[in-house]
Amino acid sequence: MREYLERITGVIPEKDWKLFKALAFQESKKRGDILLDFNKKCRHIWFLRKGAVRKVENVNGMMKTTHFYVAPFMFTVYRSLLRDVPSLMSIICEEDCEFDVIPYSALTKLYNQSHTIERIGRVMAEHQYIEEFDLRRILLNFDALQRYEYLETNQPEIFQHFQLKDIATFLGITPVSLSRLRKSRWDKRS
């Protein structure tokens, strides 16, 4: 987790790292486990050390994948966490997973003790904002083929860790349409 954070936020002094690391506890989940269920308040930030998870939303009774995360990655459901409201998303483990879990209430208390940790929180929130903004642009402005090509180029690991039916819901198409799209792209390459 330290290496991951330092790539994004810069060097973390040892005394601040010890304070931060003391907050986290480790948790393991099995494939298919729900990390956060719909309508439950999000209280944690997770660092995914091993495995893969996805976020889903229930849109008119249909489960739609909105995010894919592959280790190493840090994530949460910010809307629920910051507003202290039930989550509109669920987080599902797609593989056996290992996490470092950071309770948000303890983290905010630590902000008063360490300027470095407060800065880490700010930088991580900014990083998350940029990712959400980019994702929003992709979902609003790209058609299914462009979204597929974006995933191929920017997140090729998704195709190794997630089922095609879940990738199809992210793209906004049916699994059958995804098969056709993949076949037509393959045919063009041949």
pLDDT exceeds 80 at position 113? yes
2-141, what's its fold? Jelly Rolls (2.60.120)
pLDDT grade, residue 39 (50/70/90)? very high
Rg (CA), the chain: 18
Residue 181: pLDDT band by 50, 70, 90 thresholds? confident
> Rounded distance, CA 180 to CA 183, Å?
5
At 24 the pLDDT is 95
Peptide bond into 72 cis (omega under 30): yes
Sign of CA dihedral 6, 10, 11, 14: negative
Instruction: Provide the residue ranges of all domains of the chain, joining segments of one domain with +.
Output: 2-141, 146-190
Tens of pLDDT, residues 82-102: 999 999 999 999 999 999 999
Res 72: pLDDT: 96
User: CA-based angle 75:29:125, to the nearest 5?
Assistant: 5
Each residue's pLDDT tens digit, 8-26: 999 999 999 999 999 999 9
pLDDT at residue 182, as a whole number: 85
